[in-house]
Amino acid sequence: MKQYPSRGYRIASLLVLLTLAPRLTFAQTERSSGALRNDPLHLFSQSIQALTATVTKSVVQIVATGYGFGSQKTSTDTALFEPQEAIGSGVILTADGYIVTNSHVVQGARKIRVRLPGLEAPGPDGSKPHGPVSAKLVGLDRQSDIAVLKIDATDLPALPLADSDELKQGQVVFAFGSPQGLENSVTMGVVSATARQVSDENPTTYI
């Protein structure tokens, strides 16, 4: 006569399988986590996160206000002279307040302000910030679209400059800034050329 496993035996076998299942799942998760930590793409992503956390401390937002002719014309084709505002990005170059930005952002501005979280000037009671820090225009070059600003501050998180001569075509690069007033943005690309010349008459080369 054929023997069949008893009901108790079947239940005991099921309990053993259920007990081992979490252990097997945990071991598989550990192996997956270990593989993820060693995955080149995961390591690259972690490097970008670390770089972003460091660089964004030195990236500021520039707000320039002034007056200019409006883009819209009236029915008499007369342009109006009206208040205008430009917003751009800047980078802290020195701990004592020198900042580089684009000349087109601050060109012709009557008032320039710099905004960086934690950098705003203190209020009258010395406890709460009351807005961005005023900046002075030190100089600008329209051809290279570079301008240098100065704010009255110390111990700022300056970003050291690298040697551009060491830059190679195809290297991965990142752009940090505040496009269209959006703070703390980062994008990735590659160096398409290290010495691009606009024209033969213009000796200036660009990356």
pLDDT at 130: 52
Other CB atoms within a 10 A radius of the CB of residue 178 amount to 19
Angle at CA of residue 80, ends 180 and 114, nearest 5°: 35
What pLDDT is stored for residue 91 in this prediction?
93
- Which residues make beta-bridge pairs with 100? 91, 148
Task: Check residue 117 and give its pLDDT.
Answer: 66
Q: What is the mean pLDDT of each run of 10 residues along the chain (207 residues)?
A: 49 46 54 69 91 90 83 60 85 94 91 79 56 89 91 89 90 88 86 86 81
pTM of the shown model: 0.70
Residue 14's pLDDT is what? Answer: 41
Phi, psi of 141 (to 5 degrees): -130, 110
Beta bridge partners of 90: 60, 101
